[in-house]
Amino acid sequence: MSSDATAEPMPVIPPGFTPHPWRPISAARIDADGFIEVSWEDGRSFRAYGLWLAENSDGYGLDPVVRESTIDPIDLPVAGGPMTCEVDGDGALTITWGDRTGRIHPGWLRHVADGGHLPDAPLPRPVVWSTDAVTEPPTVDGTNVMTNENVLHEWLSTLMAFGLCRLINTPADPDFLGELMGRIGPIRDSNFGHVWDVRADPVPNSTANTGLGLGQHTDLPTREVPPGFQFLHCIRNEVSGGWSRMTDGLALVAELERNHAEAYEALTTLDWVFMNRAIDADHRWIGPMIDFGGPHQPLTIRAFYPVRTAPHMDEADIPRAYEAMRVFSTVARDPSLQLSYPFKPGDLVGFDNRRVLHGRDPFDSGGTRHLRGCYMDHDDVKSRLRVLARTHHREEAHT
């Protein structure tokens, strides 16, 4: 350790821009298989491959400005070649590979050892909800959401955890939704447009733009990757009816698996072709209604009957696929799972379009009901939240 206990450690550039507390390494040794085993004073140890450390070392692999690795694999040291290491007086790891030397930030290495680099690590864990505990949408006061990053962090964190969060007290201005999205990330465009209107049109272009009720559904299951989040902002609401309904797909899937095993099996394994029928668009995808995707992919519920085009399964499976869908819709509308609430001007509701099913009650056309809507991919909301979390965690550390 440094002889001057108050001295700052000699800076080491870590990979990336996430701040890491300094976690001095207490010992390091090279193993015969090319790994370096490091340990910390609290007893935690971690084996890191020498060539991976080369890529991530300050002074060798890392570019000091962009903080990314710059070594093409063909230029990496030869595995099993000369390598030495030592822990310096500040607790950082210094390694030499032949004539190259680099230092490893010990806090960054500890963060990897603890899994802090994994995609979901800085994000809140999902909270599975039903109307036993959640009787109205989780709500955040949005008065200062355009100027206060703590409000934005609270809203996006709650949205990530519950798959649903309502901002209240926002300006009922048709431009506000686009402005707020500008503080998060790029809007995902679609055949509906960049930011679109939901209201009863004299000549509607979709069921959404009528006063008809809409059963529980998810938008755009016709896409390989349906939009991750949907945002609806209420500008005017003078109608009776038209309440929103939300069902947590995680609770729905759990209920189906627990109490409707046959339907669950059919819904998770039998494929459907989804296809939109717009004049100027022809998106198609094929998959089950409850789509777990591949490893590391999130759940996608593909549930929108207007674009569910044809079964793609053995003929003998089609009747049970229909029965399973009836069970799905029945459970999705069960009052124990389905939340129902009105829209007020200034309410802005975000929800995870791949997890949470949404619908609405019919409404009369005696007044105006005007919502503005848009989509954003999971990637961009999560990225913004991770960046906000960097500051948030720093502030928490100082309080």
- In DSSP terms, 198 is beta-bridged to 371
For the bound state, the minimum distance from the C-beta of residue 370 to Fe ion, rounded and expressed in Å, comes to 16
- Burial-class residue 316 by CB neighbours within 10 Å (0-12, 13-18, 19+): exposed
Q: Per-residue x/- marks for Fe ion, 203-242, CB under 5 A?
A: ----------------x-----------------------
Q: Decide whether 219 or 347 has the Cβ nearer to Fe ion.
A: 219
Residues 46-65 that bind Fe ion (CB under 5 A): none
User: Would you say 323 and 301 are in contact if contact means Cβ atoms under 8 Å apart?
Assistant: no
* Residue reference for tokens 């609430």: 341
For the bound state, the minimum distance from the C-beta of residue 216 to Fe ion, rounded and expressed in Å, comes to 10
For the bound state, the minimum distance from the C-beta of residue 264 to Fe ion, rounded and expressed in Å, comes to 24
Helix (H, G, I), strand (E, B) or coil at 178: helix
Tokens of 310: 């044809």
Q: Per-residue x/- marks for Fe ion, 160-199, CB under 5 A?
A: ----------------------------------------
Q: Decide whether 158 or 244 has the Cβ nearer to Fe ion.
A: 244
Q: Please compute Rg for the chain using Cα positions.
A: 26
- In DSSP terms, 360 is beta-bridged to 214, 244
Binding footprint of Fe ion, residue count (CB under 5 A): 1
Residue 352 is a binding residue for Fe ion (CB under 5 A): no
Q: Decide whether 214 or 286 has the Cβ nearer to Fe ion.
A: 214
For the bound state, the minimum distance from the C-beta of residue 219 to Fe ion, rounded and expressed in Å, comes to 4
What is the distance of C-alpha 398 from the center of its chain? 27
For the bound state, the minimum distance from the C-beta of residue 359 to Fe ion, rounded and expressed in Å, comes to 8
Residues 276-335 that bind Fe ion (CB under 5 A): none
- Residues near 38 by beta carbon (within 8 Å), at least 6 away in sequence: 25, 27, 28, 45, 46, 48, 87, 93, 106, 109
For the bound state, the minimum distance from the C-beta of residue 215 to Fe ion, rounded and expressed in Å, comes to 10
* Residue reference for tokens 């494929």: 271
Q: Decide whether 111 or 217 has the Cβ nearer to Fe ion.
A: 217
What is the distance of C-alpha 162 from the center of its chain? 11
Catalog residues that contact Fe ion under the rule CB under 5 A: 219
